Amino acid sequence: MGLDMYLSKKTYVKNWDHNPNVKHKVTVKLNNKIRKDIKAERICGITEDVMYWRKANHIHRWFVENVQEGTDNCGSYHVSVKELRELKETCEQALDALSSAPKKTVKVKSVYKDGEWSYSDEEVYDCEELEDILPITSGFFFGSTNYDERYKQNLEDTIEGLEKALSDVEEDDYNVSFEYSSSW
pTM of the model: 0.88
Task: Tell me how many domains the chain contains.
Answer: 1
pLDDT in tens, 28-85: 999 999 999 998 888 999 999 999 999 999 999 999 999 999 999 999 999 999 999 9
pLDDT value at residue 52: 98
**Per-residue pLDDT tens digits for 100-133:** 999 999 988 778 889 988 999 999 999 999 999 9
Do 157 and 53 touch, CB atoms closer than 8 A?
yes
- Residue-number span of the structural domain to which 68 is assigned: 4-183
Give me the pLDDT at residue 22, please: 74
Give the integer Cα–Cα distance in Å for 183 and 21.
41
Supply the pLDDT for residue 60.
96
Local structure of residue 48 (DSSP, 8 states) = E
C-alpha distances (whole Å) from 53 to each of 22, 36, 40, 80, 131 are 35, 34, 32, 19, 21
Residue 94, CB-side half-sphere exposure with 13 Å CA sphere: 29
